[in-house]
Amino acid sequence: MKKTTQLKALLRDRKLLVAPGAYDVLSAKIIAQSGFGAVYMTGYGTSASVLGKPDVGLLTMTEMVARAAAIADAVDVPVLADGDTGYGNPLNVMRTVREYEKAGVCAIQLEDQLFPKRCGHMQGRRVIPMEEMVQKIKAAADTRLDSDFVIIARTDARTSLGLDEALRRGKAYEEAGADVIFIESPEGVEEMRRITATFPDTPTLANMLEGGRTPNLTTDELEAMGFGIAIFCTGPLYAAAKAVSDYMVELKTQKTTQKLLPELIAFEDFNALIGLPEYNSTEKHYSS
């Protein structure tokens, strides 16, 4: 089964699809090997890992496609990839969708922010007119070559224009051909319930950003509410940043990392994680 078809089947299931956020290939492999059904390629984390800079529209489309292709090639589960604003008008969106499809991802997330965009839980986000985004969604739907390639339409209207406007936009994007609706940063449980009630026939996405504007609920609670997808977009990035920072403090202050050994993955275990045994076996197979 194609991975796009696999993703479509997962979305038809009433069970919540949990897609933790990958900021590079290694984090994506850890997510997949941990048993999760999908990987979400986070633009926020990609900007941090590629540029060491905040998610304020600095990454180009080709940089995002290159990272998406590397992740999709490294894991056997579907990859949902952040496509930011589509990097321009509907014609740009058409090229973006084709490049993401060629990269091997199964879904692209497109948002209605005014460029330069910002992380969905930051203040200062502005949105384009709804009618402009509708045309972008139509262009995305019309240009995909694989009918199972999923288009996730995200609106950032809640923070500046209110939930009613965000829901109105979500309905318009649904009608334009979006497969998943993503109302970014609702600010309470009742708002989250309104979102799923508004889209009973289309999967909705919940963004569980630790420390963000939306309540951090359990996956069971999100499933009971009726969400189709839950992304934990920044958690793996924050966990890694904290672990590396703690390691550096220990090395700097204690001049040794001996005390941290129980907290580190073992040499052999890490080699297994990145596939060294398989490479050794293949090398042996072809050796003369």
Helix-strand-coil percent breakdown of the chain, rounded to 5?
Answer: 50, 15, 35
Average per-residue pLDDT in the chain? 95
Q: At CA 6, angle to CA 3 and CA 12, rounded to 5?
A: 145
Identify the burial level of 182 via C-beta atoms within 10 angstroms of its C-beta, where 0-12 means exposed, 13-18 middle and 19 or more buried: buried
Question: What's the pLDDT at 205?
Answer: 98
Q: What is the mean predicted confidence (pLDDT) over 96-120? A: 90
Closest CA to 112 of 91, 94, 86, 138: 86
Q: Is the bond preceding residue 90 a cis peptide, omega within 30 degrees?
A: no
Question: What's the pLDDT at 288?
Answer: 73
Provide the b/e sequence for 208-223 (b: ≥16 CB within 10 Å): bbeebbbeebebebbb
Question: What's the pLDDT at 142?
Answer: 98
Question: What's the pLDDT at 76?
Answer: 97
